[in-house]
Structure 1
Amino acid sequence: MDEIRLKRLRFRAWRRGFKEADLILGPFADKHGQDLTPEQLDAFETLLEQPDQDLYEWIIERRPTPAEFDNDVMRMLKQFRFEAFEARGGGDGG
């Protein structure tokens, strides 16, 4: 694993400029970043290149994820967001 690349991705995940996205992407990168395969890191990096509002709406499923971004990393992000919400006592996950 390229530690420099992972550090950069974590930095980008935490500092999106859109607080709601930061609070999902940052903890996800911290928890799962080191376990992602090189292909999954590529997919995560591609997701981080998308506009904040679009990415956030796909993760919370307010809008459908476009097919080109509907991959295992996006599914992991959605599951992570759901689990984090449940852990805070959020009930139905939405």
Structure 2
Amino acid sequence: MNGKDVHKIIVACDAGMGSSVMLASQLRKELRKYSVTVEHTPVNSIPDDADIVVCHQGLADRAAAGAGDKPIVKFQVFLGDPAVTKLVSAIKNGGEISA
């Protein structure tokens, strides 16, 4: 999937400790001018209209079960993770995004 085709990102979480909410907020701020919606949802409730799912590596299997064929960007660190940085760059510059 090309980054220019992304319109909705879901940040999927589990524990609700706030770290994923911070990540969703950061992505919203970074991607505001690119018309990308960023939502925060439980990993078991990924909406059908998501283009990309972003989740912690430990939740990837559960996210995959509910994400269908949508690419899943897995990260290890909530803020400053290279996988998330690569996703943002692909959206801004039109690069390819892979699961």
Q: Same fold (TM over 0.5)?
A: no
Task: Give the TM-score taking structure 2 as reference length.
Answer: 0.35
- Hey, which of these two has a bigger chunk of strand by percent? 2
Please give the TM-score of this superposition, normalised by the length of structure 1: 0.37
Larger radius of gyration: 1
**Higher percent of residues as helix:** 1
User: Larger relative CO (CA 8 A, sep 6+): 1 or 2?
Assistant: 2
